[in-house]
Chain A
Amino acid sequence: MATEEESAVKEPLDLIRLSLDERIYVKLRSDRELRGKLHAYDQHLNMILGDVEEVVTTVEIDDETYEEIVRTAKRLIPYLFVRGDGVILVSPPLRTS
Chain B
Amino acid sequence: MMGNRRGRQTERTLVCVVQALVGLELLVELRNELCIRGILDDCDADMNITLKDTVVENVEGIKSSLPMIFVRGSVIRFIHMPDTFNVSQAVEARRLMLDRAETAYIGGKGALTSTTSGESFKASSSTEEASEF
Q: Which A residues have a C-beta under 8 Å from some C-beta of B?
A: 28, 30, 39-44, 46-48, 50, 77-83, 85-86
Contact = CB atoms under 8 A, between A and B. Distances in A.
Interface of B: 12-15, 17-18, 31, 47, 73-74, 76-83, 85, 87
B87 A42 contact: no
24 contacts: A28-B77, A30-B31, A39-B87, A40-B14, A40-B17, A42-B12, A42-B13, A42-B14, A46-B14, A46-B15, A48-B14, A48-B17, A50-B83, A79-B80, A80-B78, A81-B14, A81-B17, A81-B78, A81-B80, A82-B77, A83-B76, A83-B77, A83-B78, A86-B31
Given A50-B83, A77-B78, A86-B31, 18 more contacts: A39-B87, A40-B14, A40-B17, A42-B12, A42-B13, A44-B14, A46-B14, A77-B80, A79-B80, A79-B83, A81-B18, A81-B80, A83-B73, A83-B76, A83-B77, A83-B79, A85-B74, A86-B77
Given A39-B87, A48-B87, A79 B15 contact: no
